[in-house]
């Protein structure tokens, strides 16, 4: 083989390698190999609300603001809640909320700028005072401090048994931007 043919082959090989690298950067990652999202990679905001049987809820949409894909699985960890008077004690329970669609717990990849959602609910049937939980902090893994959590404005009405934390419920993370409201508006 002459020198010219060798140079053409080497150029073709370089072009092929460059093409493979470019294509691999846009192929979606396998959910099992992508790291779990850090709270710092997620920006959240309340995008819907509703209530049924004295059980209000807020739909929270989160966006991956990081530069890389990350994965979500399971339930957000509520790390703090605040009313106009300051931080309040909460007890969070994972599971279904009344009048909200249930998301199956599964791992999924959240590309940069992609959205996921969860819902946060409370109860208002306990004796007064009725409060508005203005802000909620959440994380993607247990043991995360409030300082390392994502903060969301919520507007969730709540009451609690006398001397007890405010009981809050939370649904699993689900892909997409979620419903603007729950089943009480016919979305289920």
pLDDT at 24: 35
**Pick the residue with more confidence: 88 or 103?**
88
CB proximity list for 71: less than 8 A, separation 6 or greater? 31, 34, 35, 36, 37, 107, 108, 109, 110
Taking every pair of Cα atoms in the chain, the longest distance, rounded to a whole number of angstroms, is 91
How far is the C-alpha of 153 from the C-alpha of 93, rounded, in Å? Answer: 20
For residues 39 and 66, give the distance between their C-alpha atoms in angstroms, rounded to a whole number.
Answer: 10
Length of the chain: 188
Q: How far is CA 35 from CA 44, 130, 182, in A?
A: 19, 40, 30
| Nearest residue to 38 via CA among 1, 8, 76 | 76
- For the chain, give the percent of residues with pLDDT over 90: 64
Is the pLDDT assigned to residue 101 strictly greater than 80? no
pTM of the model: 0.78
- Give the pLDDT score at 88: 97
Buried b (16+ CB within 10 A) or exposed e, 167-179: bbbbbbbbeebbb
Residue with the larger pLDDT of the pair 102 and 165: 165
Q: What pLDDT, in 10s, does the model give residues 123-152?
A: 999 999 999 999 999 999 999 999 999 999
pLDDT tens, 54-87? 899 999 999 999 999 999 999 999 999 999 999 9
């Amino acid at each position: 083989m002459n020198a010219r043919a060798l140079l053409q082959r080497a150029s073709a090989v370089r072009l092929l390698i460059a093409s493979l690298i470019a294509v691999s950067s846009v192929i979606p990652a396998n959910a099992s190999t992508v790291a779990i999202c850090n709270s710092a990679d997620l920006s959240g905001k309340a995008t819907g609300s509703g209530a049924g049987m004295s059980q209000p809820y807020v739909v929270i949409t989160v966006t991956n603001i990081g530069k890389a894909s990350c994965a979500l699985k399971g339930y957000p960890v509520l790390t703090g809640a605040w009313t106009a008077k300051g931080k309040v004690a909460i007890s969070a329970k994972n599971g279904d909320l009344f009048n909200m669609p249930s998301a199956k717990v599964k791992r999924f990849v959240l590309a940069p700028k992609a959205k996921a959602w969860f819902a946060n609910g409370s109860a208002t049937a306990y004796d007064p005072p009725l409060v508005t939980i203005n802000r909620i902090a959440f994380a993607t893994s247990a043991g995360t401090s409030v300082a390392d959590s994502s903060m969301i404005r919520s507007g969730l009405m709540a009451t609690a048994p006398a001397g007890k934390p405010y009981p809050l419920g939370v649904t699993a993370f689900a892909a997409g931007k979620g419903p603007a409201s729950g089943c009480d508006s016919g979305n289920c």
